[in-house]
Amino acid sequence: MGFNGNQAYFADNDTSVTEGYWAVNDDTLRIYRDEANTEKLLEIPLSYDIQKNMLILNEFAVMTQTDIAPDQVQEAYKQTSEACETAKLLQDSYWSAYNDGSAKAIHISDVSLELITVKSDGSADTADYIWSIDKDNLCLYDDNYALKLTYGWQVSDNGSKITLSDADEQDDTDTADTFLEYTALTEEQSKDIVNCLLGIIADNKNK
């Protein structure tokens, strides 16, 4: 989402784009086709966290502020659309990675990202986050919208792998990894995610 004077730009993760004139009242953001605000295009529940300086849309879409020069606006819009394409790819999917004797999986839905870690002894840990994505980072927040982890991201050309790198760890968990390449899991694999990850550990031990 971008604001320039009385105009707003909104790119959704279904890759749709809405541009128009914006107004806020009753904790709702509205975008209109005309400056007189007579033809409504979009309406979204909105709140603003002053301490964290972030917008929260629909109670789970988290947006932090970035200042963009006027001559960079079109490029920023393009990058936002690319991030939305990635968000659409990630939703309702499972991805797995192997890391130093353990295997990890992420499960991403509209609202939350579940991070699952399985060790070779079969023990499993899970953590749930609210997530957001921009052109550079995949950000994970707790239920109070406190930032917990930040990953740089890159998706392979065919969309079968996503690399998460340079995590900025904000808490004392061991969920951050410097560089991990996650591979998309099939629907069948995701039905029993713990055994799937144990199989990945066994396969890597035999290499």
Model confidence over 97-116: pLDDT tens digits?
998 889 999 998 877 899 99
Averaged pLDDT for residues 150-162: 88
- CATH code, domain carrying 159: 2.40.128.50
In a domain, 156, yes or no: yes
SS3 102: strand
Cα separation of 117 and 20, whole Å? 44
- Mean pLDDT score across all residues of the chain: 81
Structural domain that includes position 163: 90-205
Cα separation of 21 and 143, whole Å? 31
Give the contacts of 187 (CB within 8 A, at least 6 positions apart): none
pLDDT at 14 over 60: yes
Q: Tokens 């707003």 — which residue?
A: 8
Averaged pLDDT for residues 119-145: 88
What is the number of structural domains in the chain? 2
- The answer to whether 153 and 164 have CB atoms below 8 angstroms apart is yes
In a domain, 66, yes or no: yes
Q: Tokens 């917990």 — which residue?
A: 148
pLDDT digits (tens, 9 = 90+) for 48-85: 777 777 778 776 666 666 665 656 656 666 666 677 77
The predicted model scores a pTM of: 0.70
In a domain, 81, yes or no: no
Same domain, 184 and 94: yes
